[in-house]
């Protein structure tokens, strides 16, 4: 099943245009803006794979961290506009800092996360770890009911009552 995020709907395009309108009207914070690169996340039997589209960035401009079960990718894309060579009719490329964070599920090995960067796509692979299997635990104990081997033996109450009753009968017969 393929899930589409709200960022792929036409409404997101409208929101991006409205954000750009406000940025143009009121200015950007110290010439910076915030954007979020699109991401694909897929899972197979061995790992989770995150792919981020980061055109125009180099690996040195991106930082990846995994801390307490959260994978975070952050970076900075600098704006490079050439002034004095005409005017811009359309400016749709995004610039500025970005951060994307994802909660990792249990059963992944954060110590073996790997990343590669090729053709503007960052690929982060999070391998799954072997899930702990339940194990049977042996009970050791002292001497119980004459068992000298250290293994606990359990007798039901009806067996114990039967023994006590037969002992009581034997004692009465010897007393007669």
CB 64 within 8 A of CB 73: yes
The predicted structure's pLDDT at residue 110: 93
Place of tokens 């039901």: 156
Where do the structural domains in the chain lie, given as residue ranges? 6-127, 136-176
The predicted structure's pLDDT at residue 105: 93
CB 113 within 8 A of CB 48: no
Q: Is the pTM of this model over 0.75?
A: no
The predicted structure's pLDDT at residue 4: 47
The CATH class of the 6-127 domain is mainly beta
Per-residue pLDDT tens, the chain, 176 aa: give them. Answer: 444 454 455 665 677 677 767 766 665 554 445 788 999 999 999 999 999 999 989 999 999 999 999 999 999 988 776 676 777 788 777 888 999 999 999 999 999 999 999 999 999 999 999 877 788 899 998 765 655 555 444 444 444 445 555 555 555 555 55
- The Cα–Cα gap between 81 and 88 comes to 10
Annotate 71-120 with DSSP letters as a single string: EEEEEEE-----TTS---S------EEEEEEEEPPTTB-GGG-EEEEETT
The predicted structure's pLDDT at residue 51: 97
HSE toward the beta carbon, residue 161, CA cutoff 13 A: 3
The predicted structure's pLDDT at residue 114: 97
């Amino acid at each position: 099943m393929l899930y589409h995020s709200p960022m792929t709907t036409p409404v997101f395009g409208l929101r991006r245009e409205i954000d750009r309108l406000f940025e143009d009207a009121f200015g950007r914070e110290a010439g910076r803006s915030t954007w979020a690169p699109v991401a694909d996340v897929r899972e197979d039997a061995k790992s989770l794979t995150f792919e981020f589209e980061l055109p125009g960035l180099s690996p040195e401009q991106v930082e990846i961290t995994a801390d307490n079960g959260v994978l975070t990718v952050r970076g900075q894309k600098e704006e490079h506009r050439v002034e004095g060579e005409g005017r811009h009719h359309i400016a749709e490329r995004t610039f500025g800092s970005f951060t994307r964070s994802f909660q990792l599920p249990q059963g992944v090995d954060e110590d073996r996360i790997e990343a590669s960067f090729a053709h503007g796509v960052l690929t982060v692979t999070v391998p799954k770890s072997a899930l702990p299997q339940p194990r049977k635990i042996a009970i050791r104990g002292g001497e119980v009911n004459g068992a000298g081997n250290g293994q606990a033996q359990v007798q039901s109450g009806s067996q114990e009552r039967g023994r006590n009753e037969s002992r009581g009968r034997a004692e009465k017969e010897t007393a007669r």
